[in-house]
Structure 1
């Protein structure tokens, strides 16, 4: 009777959980929880990230690009009309952007000294002492007059568009001095262009490489880049005077040189045709409005000259570090 009372009292003093803890204080009979489901998810995410980095380091690539500036032109290019003799420009019959035809009069040069010589030759036959001498002097006068007229009237030797007028009315010119740049018509179905790239990277550009171009006034973030292929690369750096002759603009040539802060190589390229495009040429993106390309458009271009797996770059840097120790 007394024992039963004591057991009932003991049961009231110790709870069931306390008694279980006393029986197995180390809980060796229970399974241990190593991690939670959230922990497993985090571990899987980290593992996937590490795997992706390894795959990218082997199969991905770092690219080295050669960037340059230049111009898109038609295949016929720009030609220069020169003065045929010395004198004063008293008339210019065309203006920049005007269409001209072959044989059209574009300027007149007043040759004052030649005028005086021609007038003197005009009276020479009257002073001749014989008929043979008179005939000779008549021929001399006709020849001098023809040469004068041929030299003082400047005609366009091409069908094209006046790109730039290099002199003004009243300017004094000498024989062989450039007067007008004419952009020759013809070949407009096949545009070409030039890029000027710093010499340190220009030497690594090769024929056939792809160029991504951004013509002036085009937002490449909306339309993508215009595509071209390298046709040739100059063997040596080009001079500002040579660039001026190619581009037809002295200020543009000087600006490109100053912007690149280096000697430059000339890269000639052709645009890639795409009959299905509104512009007639291939772009990196099919979205956006691709307006027709016009000759004389300034452009920036980029050429990938090297692709290298990231892991190769890591090994290269590591070997440099080890050699430096």
Structure 2
């Protein structure tokens, strides 16, 4: 009897309106919030997967230089260097003497002609032949003096800043040997640009107008980001060491940036921004509080293309469906 009574009481409680309301409460407010949060995350992920963008990039190493590249000064005449007038960092003007070379053969010839002229002048004969001989000797001496000035001096072909002096006083040089590397300054120079070298299989995908991100080695990328740039030109064929030498002017740089191969040469124009200390536009708000100088090594990343993230998943989904 007592068991039956308990069953009857239980049935009454379950059938009461209050108990029916409690049975209808399937989830708590916290559970609803969790469900809404998960749904929002899924919708956001799906939206990003369809309308978002993942960049396809390629990278390389390079150097910041003045637009127009590096110019190497050489000399057509060989000989021993007697004096070097400049050092790295000096500003030189067009026509300024930067190196002197010993041309003792010409000096000896001039001295010999001078002795001949003195002997002719000391002659007591006042003849037309003697006067003609004096004139001839003077002309020969003047010609040799001009040749001596040309052959014994190396001058800057234009205004520039010395980047590297490749020889030392006392060195014997061969005709055409590179003596000094310099970059353009003044009216002949524009802003800095990046000369970057990329592996051939990747470099051929780069086109003028593409966006480039340049990270100078003197700046912490994780703190200041990178400089925004734009590709201006891409070499049609891989660059040889000789071709790179014309642009870079240094065997060490050629070896470092070529990595024992013939890379594609990419020129990148840096976007200017007068509000930053460097004068260039950075991915961060203001960039580093320093000036970026030519000769700074850098790494560069070029955005070749971009695609929605969902496209990366579709091939795997197709493979899965085909297997099943």
- TM-score, normalised to structure 1, is 0.80
Q: Equivalent of 1:18, from 7, 24, 28? A: 7
Structure 1 position 310, deviation (Å): 2.0
- Structure-to-structure mapping, 1:85-96, within 5 angstroms: 85-96=77-88
Give the whole-Å Cα distance in 2 for the aligned partners of 1:60 and 1:54. Answer: 9
RMSD of aligned Cα (Å): 3.4
Does the 8 Å CA contact 2:241/2:262 hold for their aligned counterparts? no
Give the whole-Å Cα distance in 2 for the aligned partners of 1:172 and 1:20. Answer: 118
Give the whole-Å Cα distance in 2 for the aligned partners of 1:324 and 1:112. Answer: 86
Give the whole-Å Cα distance in 1 for the aligned partners of 2:83 and 2:179. Answer: 12
- Structure-to-structure mapping, 1:38-53, within 5 angstroms: 38-53=30-45
Structure 1 unmatched runs, 5+ = 1-9
Counterpart residue number, 1:143: 143
2:271 corresponds to 1:282: no
Counterpart residue number, 1:233: 234
- TM-score, normalised to structure 2, is 0.81
Structure 1 position 234, deviation (Å): 0.5
Give the whole-Å Cα distance in 2 for the aligned partners of 1:318 and 1:206. Answer: 32
Counterpart residue number, 1:272: 271
Counterpart residue number, 1:153: 153
User: Over residues 207-266 of structure 1, what are the superposed CA-to-partner deviations in whole Å (9 max), with x where a residue is unaligned?
Assistant: 1112111123112322221111111110011112222221222112211122xx753111
Counterpart residue number, 1:7: none
Cα–Cα, structure 1 residues 317 and 19, in superposed 2: closer, same or farther, change >3 Å? closer
How many positions carry a matched residue from both structures?
Answer: 309
Does the 8 Å CA contact 2:49/2:310 hold for their aligned counterparts? yes
- Secondary structure at the aligned position of 1:205 is classed as coil
Structure 2 unmatched runs, 5+ = 121-128
Does the 8 Å CA contact 1:213/1:226 hold for their aligned counterparts? yes
Larger radius of gyration: 1
Q: Equivalent of 2:74, from 61, 82, 85? A: 82
Structure 1 position 323, deviation (Å): 8.8
Give the whole-Å Cα distance in 2 for the aligned partners of 1:96 and 1:191. Answer: 19
Structure 1 position 68, deviation (Å): 1.4
